[in-house]
Structure 1
Amino acid sequence: MTGTGTTVEPRRFSVEREAGVTLAGEVWDPVGEGTTPLDEILMLHGGAQTRHAWTRAARRLASEGYRVTAMDARGHGDSDWDPEGDYDIHRLAEDLEAIVAERFPGRRPVIVGASLGGMTAMLSLGSGQDVARALVLVDVTPKLEAEGVEKVGAFMRSGFNGFASLEEAADAIAAYQPHRKRPDNIDGLRKNLRLREDGRWHWHWDPRFAGSASADNADIGTAFFEALVPKIQQPTLLIRGGISDIVSDESVRHLLELLPHAHTMEVPEAGHMVAGDDNAVFLDQLEWFLTEIVGVVGK
């Protein structure tokens, strides 16, 4: 609901890629018929998430005048699984470039990318692809803490055999995120889990994706992105979780060495899932960037 009592609901759409792969997305238009959006925002979720990770954020932003697009990455949510199980970051970057070309003709959005989504955007922008006019990284930098990355990978792999019930899945999430209050109503998990023929609830993403989340890949990724990130010229903001085990103080220092024009902010009580932990503070910081920094660039 908006402040005027108007319900903001998204419109679904799809982007066709190569044969056998269709990407799913949805867009929230700004409230008010014929309203010109303050800006266009493209939100990219993290690995093993879906576009629904952004629902609360997208609704508020749309109620405040922004047009917001959220995508399910290849192999996640309602997007098709890759026939070959190829979830290399370059393939995801190609998807991003196709999405922007089709959905934002003649204009460029502000990209908000969490974790994997931020890495995908860094690769595209650092490779000289004109996919955004500004970039917001949500708890992701070129240098990630290997122990935290391994913890994420272990959590993803722990669900390979599915869960006997939504309650069991909620228990697994609570054990992984002990700082977050467990919700009284767990029906929201139905957007991230699917009940399969074996009678068990499985995460709504291709399990072949999980092989990329490891401590070794975190170290490899640092050297890879060090060569790309300095080439990013768009206004950039890092919003990190204050208790994240993925992005550390050293991670932030390293980013600023590579990208001196970047701004950094912290959501104090949030872990790696920043928007999920404290959506209100996250959005306050995002909107500061949109109005005070990106706004002076011009649309």
Structure 2
Amino acid sequence: MPVDAAFVEIDGPWHHRYVAANGARFHVAELGEGPLVLMLHGFPQFWYAWRHQMVALADAGFRAAAMDLRGYGGSDKPPRGYDTYMATLDAASVIRSLGETAAVVLGQGLGGWIAWAMPVLRPDVTTAIASLSMPHPRVLRHASWVDRKQRAASGWIAALQRPFAPEREMTRSHDYVEGLLREWSAPGGTFPTAEDVARYGDAMMIPFVAHSAAEHYRWLGRSQIRPDGPLFMRRIRPPIHVPVLQLHGADDRAVLEKSTRGSGKYVPGDYRALTIPDAGHFLSEEAPDAVSAELLSWLKSLQ
């Protein structure tokens, strides 16, 4: 059965809305009232990855807004604009379209990469950031250069540089998505369930999502041998002057735990880094209670 963008409008206590921002339309799931917390998902997911934290944050008096990144889920899938500069502008524009001047930004995986760039590239809208399963981009780049185990763990990004073939693999069946969900999560855990595989596998089959998802990583890969990659790394070198929370799974097999060390040198002020035991790359779903508790403790300390 064909899958369309409406597939991601999953029923729950949240409500779904579409907002115009940065020349595109973005799908946002929203719950609660209070200070805005914008949530950015990773690959191969969509807003649904934050469902547990949305409920916890809303119950604690926050306005949780989980958006589908450009090219994912119910958001627009334009043919271009998949660099990190555009992703941070998308997030900043969504914050304003939601009627706020600034927000705390949470990100996981790809969303975490974007979150790290927000205080430097979009400081006017960013009051604090939390990154799950992703160190500062410069730290990950260095680890990928000097650590052969991290290079091997990041080999899937190199595979995505091929034209057309990855898209066909992602949409042929759920096998590609299921493989990543199982490979990157902690062994012996309860994630992913069959329902998780079905939801994320089907979401990848929404027209143009597979191509758009690959394009985010094609920019990350190909920019390293073009001027825009080194320029981006220089642009995000300045110190971050907002509070930062970094959470990482001890058993993350996509971004190794040892590859995250050193991010604190970019945060001269309020910086907290915690390792979550018995969890892998998909922290918000593998350890939802622990992640929600750490996020709430940190968010309340900001008030």
TM-score norm. by structure 2 comes to 0.75
Cα offset, 1:201, TM superposition: 8.7
1:238 positional shift = 0.8
- For residue 230 of structure 1, give the secondary structure of its aligned residue in structure 2: coil
The change in CA–CA distance for 1:80 and 1:133 in structure 2 (over 3 A counts) is same
Query: How far apart, in 2, do the equivalents of 1:185 and 1:263 lie?
Result: 31
What is residue 98 of structure 1 aligned with on the other side?
A: 93
Q: How many residues align?
A: 274
Instruction: Please state how far the C-alpha of 1:11 moved relative to its aligned partner.
Output: 1.4
Q: RMSD over aligned Cα, in angstroms? A: 3.5
Tell me whether 1:149 sits opposite 2:154 in the alignment: yes
The 1:136/1:52 distance shift into structure 2, 3 A limit, reads same
Structure 2 CA distance for aligned equivalents of residues 195 and 8 of structure 1: 17
* Residue 276 of structure 1: how far off its partner (Å): 1.9
Aligned ranges 1:169-248 → 2 under 5 Å: 170=178, 173-177=181-185, 179=187, 181=189, 186-194=194-202, 204-205=209-210, 206=212, 207-212=214-219, 214=221, 217=224, 224-225=232-233, 227-244=235-252, 245-248=254-257
- The structure in which a higher percent of residues are helix is 2
Contact 1:23 1:73 in 2 (8 A): yes
Shift in Å, 1:53: 0.7
Q: Which sits farther off after the overlay, 97-106 or 63-72?
A: 97-106
Quote how far apart the aligned CAs of 1:58 are: 0.9
Q: CA deviation at 1:150?
A: 2.5
- Aligned mates of 2:191, 2:21 — CA distance in 1: 37
Q: TM-score, normalised by structure 1?
A: 0.76
The amino acid that maps onto 2:154 is V
AA aligned opposite 2:250:
G
Q: Is residue 8 of structure 2 the alignment partner of residue 14 of structure 1?
A: no
- Structure 1 SS opposite 2:95: helix
Percent of paired sites with the same residue: 19
Structure 1 distance, partners of 2:91, 2:69, is 9
Change (3 A) 1:110 1:215: same
Q: Deviations over 1:56-85 (max 9, x none)?
A: 2212222333220000000011112122x3
State the shift of 1:185 in Å: 5.2
Which SS does the other structure have where 1:13 is aligned? strand
Counterpart of 1:150 in structure 2: which amino acid? G
Q: 1:178 to 1:201 in 2, by over 3 A?
A: farther
Q: 2:130 aligns with which of 127, 136, 140?
A: 136
8 Å Cα contact 1:194/1:203 also seen in 2: no
Mapped partners of 1:161, 1:167: distance in 2: 8
- Whether 1:127 aligns to 2:112 is no
**Alignment check: 8 A CA contact 2:185 2:191 kept:** no
1:177–1:25 distance in 2 versus 1, CA, 3 Å: same
CA distance in 1, matches of 2:243, 2:176: 42
Given the alignment, which residue of 41, 54, 57 partners 1:61?
57
SS of structure 1 residue aligned to 2:113: helix
Q: Kindly indicate whether structure 1 or structure 2 has the higher relative contact order, using CA contacts under 8 Å at least 6 residues apart.
A: 2
**Cα pair distance change 1:115/1:223, threshold 3 Å:** farther
